Amino acid sequence: MDKALLSKTAAAMVAKGRGILAADESSGTCEKRFKSVGVECTEENRRTYRNLLFSTSGVEQFLSGVILFDETARQKANDGSLIPEYLAKKGIIPGIKVDKGTVQLPLAAAGELVTEGLDGLRERLKEYRALGARFAKWRAVIRIGETIPSPRCVSANAHALARYATLCQEQGLVPIALLQAFEYGLGRPRTVGGDGVVWIAPRSDEVDGSSHRNLDLRVLESIVEHLHDDVVTGDRCGLAATT
């Protein structure tokens, strides 16, 4: 693990005046968006759409990084280079989404979720690093209700985040830890805060604290905690790099 390189990458990701573009929509999500404007959702159309974003004149002045979907990381830019290579040439750090979505936590209350994707993650990270990725993203979702989340749900997601982050650093990628908490039944966050981690009162300390305790146990060097662009709070909306 190259600690100096990880720290340098993390600092560049949160450079003042620049942000990270999430271009990691799945093919299914793209299909819904394309359908709304009458465009067929083919692989070539998805490539063309993303290249339109990445080739925008001057975009590198405002983007520090781009989170890619697996398909996009393997596609070519208009100049014939792989998209991660094309982004790097423009001074934009290529990243990759590595989680495989959320599922119902077994033997837990309805609505308690856990993120999948740890199986085979080390090998996938090696491949993504070879393709040019320099950071990764993992999304955990905690639903807040009258009786949830349970300690087991919080612990399962915090542990998964920590294992993911450790594996990323082992392979030379800066991990983005995205923890989203939703009021169950409303579908959107209500309040956020806490060092770049989304939380919902009154159970926020439990969720936030468990995540950080698990991350601390892995002795991480550089991690980027991410606030999604659909949450807003005073002066705490954005990205933070911690060491």
Q: Is 215 exposed, middle or buried (0-12, 13-18, 19+ CB in 10 A)?
A: buried
Going by pLDDT thresholds of 50, 70 and 90, the confidence category of residue 231 is very low
The residue type of 4 is A
**Of 38 and 181, more confident:** 38
d(CA 143, CA 61): 36
Domain count, the chain: 1
Structural domain of 100:
3-242
pLDDT for residue 238: 40
16: three-class secondary structure by DSSP: coil
Q: What is residue 185's predicted lDDT score, i.e. its pLDDT?
A: 56
Q: Are 219 and 243 in contact (CB under 8 A)?
A: no
Residue 189, pLDDT score: 45
Residue 35, pLDDT above cutoff 80: yes
Average pLDDT for 217-232: 47
* pTM score above 0.85: no
Pairwise CA distance, residues 231 & 104, whole Å: 24
Q: Which of 210, 215, 220, 106 is nearest to 155 (CA)?
A: 210
Sort 240 into a burial class: Cβ within 10 Å, 0-12 / 13-18 / 19+.
middle
Amino acid found at 72: T
CATH of the domain at 65: 3.20.20.70
Q: Identify the residue with better confidence: 212 or 118.
A: 118
pLDDT at residue 174, as a whole number: 92
| Per-residue pLDDT at 112 | 94
* DSSP code at position 34: H
- State yes or no: pLDDT of 179 exceeds 50: yes
Quick one: pLDDT band at residue 201, thresholds 50, 70, 90? very low
In this structure, are residues 69 and 101 in contact, taking their beta carbons and an 8 Å threshold?
no
98 to 49, 116, 136, 219: CA distances (angstroms)? 21, 9, 7, 21
Least confident window among 19-28, 41-50, 127-136, 223-232: 223-232
pLDDT tens, position by position, 139-149:
998 888 888 88
How many Cβ atoms from other residues are within 10 Å of residue 169's Cβ? 23
Rounded to 5°, angle at Cα 166 from 165 and 172: 90
Residue 165 pLDDT more than 50? yes
Cis (ω within 30 of 0) for the bond into 151?
no
- What percentage of the chain reaches a pLDDT higher than 90? 60
If one counts every other C-beta atom within 10 angstroms of the C-beta of residue 179, the result is: 25
Classify residue 57 by burial, with Cβ atoms within 10 Å: 0-12, 13-18, 19+: exposed
The tens digit of pLDDT for each residue in 67-120 reads 999 999 999 999 999 999 999 999 999 999 999 999 999 999 999 999 999 999
